[in-house]
């Protein structure tokens, strides 16, 4: 099972709250649904051609004892009439020959494995993870290329389809190994995926590679040719030389891929402070009792930390100062980490304490875990006069210039500039996950609805009476609540996936192994406005 989920939903805990249990159940319902891939008819047709499904291919590729950290499993959820489960591509990190690799597997049961905007975002995000952590990339190709009805949204811009190939060239220049296994269609621009890899494999009488398929060839030149004659396995393994290996079937192709990985030169890993792991004093399911959906309540991050760190032991830093941020050192599965966790609104001293701690972790080469539940920075005349913007900038500087890996977990709300300070997506954390109850936005739905309702009323005072004011408020709040939800976020790849709170320690454990697979750069910070 993917490490983005918990092994069991049992023991949700008496204190978790009925609403959170419903949110968790909804998440699992959606997740289990996307595991099937496309429609039942599409899966039956796929198997009739002798093919494994995308997730079966990944399972066959990975080491038998390897976990698979699946990324953004609910991408495109709630969009495109839900015709693109997981955005038609499965991505994640697992082990091949004992080495972590990034896997990108097209799901041909979903619209022929074609690419919509979210498919591209998932593919590019997987490449970013490979680049950041110097992990080899394996592409299991079975795709018809761009989903043509969406071409205006996926083709021309900087982060659109072409970025995939641009990344491949850069990854090659960095010495990051890449292997393509062509297990079905590989059409148009997608033909460059195997052509730009270090080594490529194609399945006989199944895989095809061509810039333009038979219909386009006929329209352009009048030539009539079959898929196999134009760009089948025999053509590219024996005539064109586009691929390096010809496989009998999916299983044989994946076996060849595993043998190729064995030849990769090992990447120098980061020396880390690691000792024998110890279990926390609490079972993982206790975290269900700490997650809630009420934005007015603080997440009990002291208890969350006790549930995820070794021996439930935490060495506080500045414990009695600026108490709206928790900072300190602990171990997770034997790895030393620095932890920053919100416990209220950000004041000037909160920001200064956090910036100090981030600097310590960077100079001591200690990776950081951020637990986000933050409404933002304090507002008001007094705090502006005291320089809250200057103090906040120190913290943001420290996070943005960090050289050690940062892993962000959004346990509750992540609002406004607080999202930036706590290593939101714009600040390139190595990984960012959300609990199912988490929310992200400029501000909370209630605050946004009040502000926008007041502005509307000020502009059209005569048109907005008390009754219409409440109706307007309810409409705005409902929209903000929807657009700030974890499901809305993960559908658009704003995070790396929703996780069951009970799986938090397990996921952090494997992520800490992944981020230690390469050496970290030396630390350099910018100019701090003192």
pLDDT value of position 428 = 96
Q: Is the pLDDT of residue 24 over 70?
A: yes
CA dist., res. 349 & res. 355, Å (int): 10
C-alpha torsion sign, points 55, 61, 64, 68: negative
pLDDT given at position 9: 41
| Residue 517 pLDDT class (50, 70, 90 cuts) | confident
Burial of residue 461, with CB atoms counted within 10 A of its CB: 0-12 exposed, 13-18 middle, 19 or more buried: exposed
Neighbours of 455 (CB within 10 A): 10
Per-residue pLDDT, averaged over 399-415, amounts to: 96
Nearest alpha carbon to residue 190 among 106, 283, 267, 271 = 106
pTM: 0.92
> Tell me: the pLDDT tens digits for 352-386?
999 999 999 999 999 999 999 998 898 899 999 99
Per the structure block, which two tokens stand in for 80?
Answer: 């495109």
Neighbours of 240 (CB within 10 A): 11
Q: Looking at the predicted structure, is the pLDDT value of residue 163 above 80?
A: yes
For residue 297, name the pLDDT band (cuts at 50, 70, 90). Answer: confident
pLDDT (mean) for 229-239:
96
- Give the mean pLDDT of the chain: 92
Mean pLDDT of the region 285-303? 93
Select the more confidently predicted residue: 474 or 529. Answer: 474
Confidence of residue 142 (pLDDT cuts 50, 70, 90): very high
Integer Cα distance of 182 and 227 in angstroms: 14
Output the pLDDT for position 466: 65
Which segments of 196-279 does DSSP mark as H helices, in order? 214-221, 227-231, 233-234, 250-261
Could you report the per-residue pLDDT of 55-96, keeping only the tens digit for each?
999 999 999 999 999 999 999 999 999 999 999 999 999 999
pLDDT-derived band at 174 (thresholds 50, 70, 90) equals very high
Does residue 325 have a pLDDT over 70? yes
pLDDT band at 476 (very low <50, low <70, confident <90, very high): confident
- The pLDDT of 190-215, averaged and rounded, is 94
CA–CA dist 365, 360 (Å, integer): 8
Report residue 460 as tokens. Answer: 């059209």
User: If pLDDT is split at 50, 70 and 90, which confidence band does 232 have?
Assistant: very high
**pLDDT above 70 (res 526):** yes
What pLDDT is attached to residue 480?
83
The tokens describing 458, both together, are 């000020």
Considering only CA atoms, which of 141, 76, 146 is closest in space to residue 114? 146
| Helices and strands in the chain, H and E counts | 21, 14
Which percentage of the chain shows pLDDT scores above 90?
Answer: 79
Mean pLDDT over 340-354 rounds to 96
* Residue 7 confidence (pLDDT): 41
**Band of the pLDDT at 464, cuts 50, 70, 90?**
low
| CA pair distance 463, 459, nearest whole angstrom | 9
């Amino acid at each position: 099972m993917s490490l983005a989920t918990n092994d069991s939903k049992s023991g949700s805990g008496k204190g978790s709250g009925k609403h959170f249990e419903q949110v968790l159940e909804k998440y699992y319902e959606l997740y289990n649904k996307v595991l099937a891939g496309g429609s039942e008819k599409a899966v039956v047709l796929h198997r009739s051609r002798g093919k494994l499904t995308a997730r079966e291919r990944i399972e066959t590729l990975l080491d038998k004892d390897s976990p698979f950290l699946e990324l953004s499993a609910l991408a495109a959820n709630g969009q495109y009439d839900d015709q693109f489960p997981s955005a038609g591509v499965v991505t994640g990190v697992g082990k091949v020959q004992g080495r972590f690799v990034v896997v990108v597997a097209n799901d041909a049961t979903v619209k022929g494995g074609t690419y919509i905007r979210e498919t591209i975002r998932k593919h590019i995000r997987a490449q970013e993870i490979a680049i950041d952590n110097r992990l080899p990339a394996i592409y299991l190709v079975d795709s018809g290329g761009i989903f043509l009805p969406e071409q205006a949204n996926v083709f021309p811009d900087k982060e659109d389809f072409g970025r995939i190939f641009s990344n491949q060239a850069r990854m090659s220049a960095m010495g990051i190994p890449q292997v393509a296994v062509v297990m079905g269609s590989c059409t148009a621009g997608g033909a460059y995926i195997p052509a730009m890899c270090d080594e490529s494999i194609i399945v006989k009488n199944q895989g095809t590679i061509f810039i333009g398929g038979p219909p386009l060839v006929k329209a352009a030149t009048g030539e009539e040719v079959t898929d196999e004659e134009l760009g089948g396995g025999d053509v590219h393994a024996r005539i064109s030389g586009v691929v390096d290996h010809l496989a009998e079937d999916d299983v044989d192709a994946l076996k060849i891929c595993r043998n190729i990985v064995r030849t990769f030169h090992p990447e120098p890993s980061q020396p880390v402070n690691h000792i024998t792991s110890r279990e926390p004093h609490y079972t993982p399911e206790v975290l269900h009792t700490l997650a809630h959906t009420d934005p007015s309540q603080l997440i009990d991050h002291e208890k969350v930390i006790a549930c995820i760190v070794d021996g439930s032991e935490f060495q506080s830093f500045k414990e009695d100062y600026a108490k709206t941020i928790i900072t300190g050192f602990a171990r997770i599965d034997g790895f030393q980490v620095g932890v920053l966790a919100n416990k209220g609104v950000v004041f000037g001293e909160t920001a200064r304490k956090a910036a100090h701690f981030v600097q310590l972790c960077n100079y001591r080469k200690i990776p950081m875990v951020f637990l986000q539940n933050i409404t933002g920075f304090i507002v008001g005349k007094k705090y502006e006069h005291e320089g809250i913007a200057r103090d906040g900038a120190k913290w943001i500087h420290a996070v943005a210039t960090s050289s050690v890996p940062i892993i962000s977990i959004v346990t509750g709300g992540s609002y406004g500039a607080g999202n930036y300070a706590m290593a939101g997506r714009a600040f390139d954390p190595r990984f960012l996950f959300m609990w199912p109850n988490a929310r992200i936005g400029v501000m909370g739905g209630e605050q946004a609805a009040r502000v926008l309702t007041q502005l509307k009323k000020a502009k059209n005072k005569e048109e907005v009476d008390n009754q219409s004011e409440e109706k307007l408020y309810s409409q705005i709040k409902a929209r903000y609540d929807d657009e700030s939800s974890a499901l809305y976020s993960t559908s658009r790849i704003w995070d790396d996936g929703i996780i069951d709170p009970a799986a938090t320690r397990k996921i952090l454990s494997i992520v800490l192994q992944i981020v230690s697979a390469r050496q970290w750069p030396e630390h350099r910070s910018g100019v701090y406005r003192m």
